[in-house]
Amino acid sequence: MAGRMRNEASSSSNSRTESVVVDCGRRRSSCGYCRSPGGTSISHGLWAQSLTVNDYQDLLDHGWRRSGCFLYKPEMERTCCPSYTIRLKASDFVPSTEQHRVSKRMQRFLDGKLDVKKGNALEHPTSSNESKSSVQHEFSSPVSEDPLSTCNEEKNEIEKVLRYLSDQIGDAVCMFTSKGEFPSGIQLPKASVKKVSPGKRKLLVNGSEDLLFSCNIAFQIAASIKRAQLGDKNAHQSKLTRDCTEVNDLSPKIIAEKLATSLAQTLKCSDISIRSCNGHMNFYSSTKQVSSSEGAQNASAPKKSGIKHGSEGNCLNNPQCSQVKSRRLELRLKRSNFDPEEFALYRRYQLKVHNDKPDHVTESSYRRFLVDTPLSYVASFGDGTVPPCGFGSFHQQYLIDGRLVAVGVIDILPKCLSSKYLFWDPDFAFLSLGKYSALQEIGWVKENQVHCPSLQYYYLGYYIHSCSKMRYKAAYRPSELLCPLRYQWVSFDIAKPLLDRKPYVVLSDSSIVQNGGSSQPQGTEDVLERHLDVDQQDANDVPMDEDEEMVESESEGSDDEPGAEMTSYSDTDGDVSKVLLGLNDSRLRYKDMRGAFGPEDQSLLESQLRRYKRVVGPELCERMVYSLG
């Protein structure tokens, strides 16, 4: 008995041991991939109140995927861009030339040997969003000996520094707002950093020849809070008033000190330091001065060997600084929860890489999409069935010299690591963090097979052949696609020529014809790599719109419709008598509850249960709890 209880605990959870789902019906939304005027995505939806890792593993193997607590499965015959679940066996993974190049580029960067100009030229052959990053442009033009060109170059470099510092202050304000230290109910002004002229520096007490830039955003923030308090003085119980009351002691001096302390960490390895002074944030040259004249010269133009001139920010990306010391990459795996620093990075990524509107990137939408999870955590008991970190939902943090540069959102399940989303610092686009993180996650699966032999696969989400930006997933070879009809895994090499002809294919038919195998045509990898170099944004596993549009779309009727996609299940699957139903705290089979419904309600419920059984499969519908309220 004791042994059985131990096995049940290790294979289920420390807390809930059952999956409870609510049927959301069939849902229609505009396609988040092709974005054509008539593009339509139709999917089945479930809301998971709780979900065991074993059940979610089986759902993945039936074409489902989660966004937060919402589970969805595309109706392949009806959606304009059919989405095939794709996976690869980690132990069989064969890195391509480009993937080797990504790993070597990261190692050179960590060793301090990377020529950033060369790296960006290799990484951005086209004019994608990332190619517009200031990281690429910083070293993109040769140094000119012409005095006028040199003057213009210095001016441009200073403007880049000003933009960078303004962005960093904005990120810090966003972080303090997320933490509740600044009120969230008002629109705070955007920071603007200004260059301090030599004349103004001379007017300062005792002189300040090393003062470069200054920002008065603290006064503007304090004024905005004060205006909000005055404008809301007749509604003392409102949320905005409560928020402002909690922070009504935020004087410009205190605000400036908070922001300066936060930014000091970011600027610590650059040639610029920050200090607050009576509400102003002042930026100084931290290069030691030999004389006043040398100090004035340093103040007039930042050195190229110091702070990075552009949105990349500090000497992490500076090839001259990189010769001074190597860098340290640290990976931290933590259970899914809200982290203000991660949200600030996510917001910056969405705004700069995906050009999202600021009011669309909110803390609540971020929580729903990437933090909330129905998966029950399973702790490791050291018995060879669960990896040391456990099973569940996690965030994998990537830090370079302590700076958070990327976050991978993943689910670790009994058979796989399922990659959900990755967001990264736009300053580090030249490192191809999307590709690099995938290589790290594949390596993680290999390493943890020692602790959990069943953990063998890496799931990359959905492969969409009709969407060029999603084809990069097939570059991780040898991959397999899930047949949408019979739920068998089919080699991508077999599936590709069929998908070239039409978007929806019953893949298992071709697999049977070819006896389950096919040799790869000569040169396929090289062609695929060239195609990906043009189309891949080197950004992400899943577009942001994919999940949000589905979650917020309108539900359709739940009745079965003629022509709806059918599976290979037998005719007996129309029998819903064994479907497990939940009503309050009761768990009963439908056959034991049928008499509690009138003829009309019974007919409607059985129609819903037949569709539910068809889309999740006969085993899961008897194991998961179909909640009736």
| pLDDT tens digits along 79-103 | 888 999 999 999 999 999 999 999 9
Instruction: Tell me which residue has tokens 């074409």.
Output: 63
Using the Cα atoms of residue 271, residue 143, residue 320 and residue 104 in order, give the sign of their dihedral.
positive
The model's confidence at residue 384, banded by pLDDT at 50, 70 and 90, is confident
pLDDT value of position 186: 80
Answer yes or no: pTM beyond 0.75.
no
Cα 486 to Cα 512: distance, rounded to the nearest angstrom: 12
pLDDT value of position 81: 87
Q: What average pLDDT does the structure give for the chain?
A: 77
Closest CA to 240 of 225, 223, 260, 222: 225
pLDDT value of position 233: 54
pLDDT value of position 343: 97
3-state helix, strand, coil in the chain (%, to 5): 45, 20, 35
Closest CA to 28 of 628, 558, 613, 462: 558
Cα 80 to Cα 503: distance, rounded to the nearest angstrom: 8
For 38-57, what is the mean pLDDT?
91
Q: With beta carbons less than 8 A apart as the criterion, state whether 449 and 409 touch.
A: no
Q: Is residue 304 predicted with pLDDT exceeding 80?
A: no
Residue predicted with more confidence, 347 or 385: 347
Q: With beta carbons less than 8 A apart as the criterion, state whether 154 and 191 touch.
A: no
Closest CA to 556 of 16, 10, 43: 43
On the question of a cis peptide bond just before residue 189, with omega within 30 degrees of 0, the verdict is no
Instruction: Tell me where in the chain the CATH 3.30.1360.70 domain(s) lie.
Output: 113-322
Q: Which two tokens stand for residue 191?
A: 């920071």
pLDDT value of position 238: 47
Residue predicted with more confidence, 357 or 242: 357
The model's confidence at residue 161, banded by pLDDT at 50, 70 and 90, is confident
For 198-224, what is the mean pLDDT?
77
For 580-606, what is the mean pLDDT?
92
Q: Is residue 145 predicted with pLDDT exceeding 50?
A: no
Domain 113-322 has CATH 3.50.50.60: no
The model's confidence at residue 149, banded by pLDDT at 50, 70 and 90, is low
Length of the chain: 629
The model's confidence at residue 538, banded by pLDDT at 50, 70 and 90, is very low
Q: What are phi and psi of 110, to 5 degrees?
A: -65, -35
For 163-169, what is the mean pLDDT?
88
For 37-51, what is the mean pLDDT?
86
The model's confidence at residue 208, banded by pLDDT at 50, 70 and 90, is low
170 to each of 109, 212, 344, how far by Cα in Å? 27, 19, 10
What proportion of the chain, given as a percentage, has pLDDT over 70?
Answer: 69
For 468-485, what is the mean pLDDT?
92
For 405-424, what is the mean pLDDT?
97
Longest Cα pair distance anywhere in the chain, in angstroms? Answer: 95
The model's confidence at residue 190, banded by pLDDT at 50, 70 and 90, is confident
Cα 205 to Cα 369: distance, rounded to the nearest angstrom: 52
The model's confidence at residue 202, banded by pLDDT at 50, 70 and 90, is low
pLDDT value of position 552: 37
Closest CA to 139 of 166, 104, 114, 171: 114
For residue 82, the SS3 value is: coil
Using the Cα atoms of residue 329, residue 335, residue 340 and residue 342 in order, give the sign of their dihedral.
positive
Which residues contact residue 155 at a Cβ distance below 8 angstroms, ignoring those fewer than 6 apart?
Answer: none
Q: Is residue 431 predicted with pLDDT exceeding 90?
A: yes
Q: Which of 176-190, 224-238, 585-599 has the highest mean pLDDT?
A: 585-599
pLDDT value of position 376: 96
The dihedral over CA atoms of 243, 249, 252, 257, expressed in degrees to the nearest 10, equals -100
For 277-305, what is the mean pLDDT?
55
Q: With beta carbons less than 8 A apart as the criterion, state whether 312 and 138 touch.
A: yes
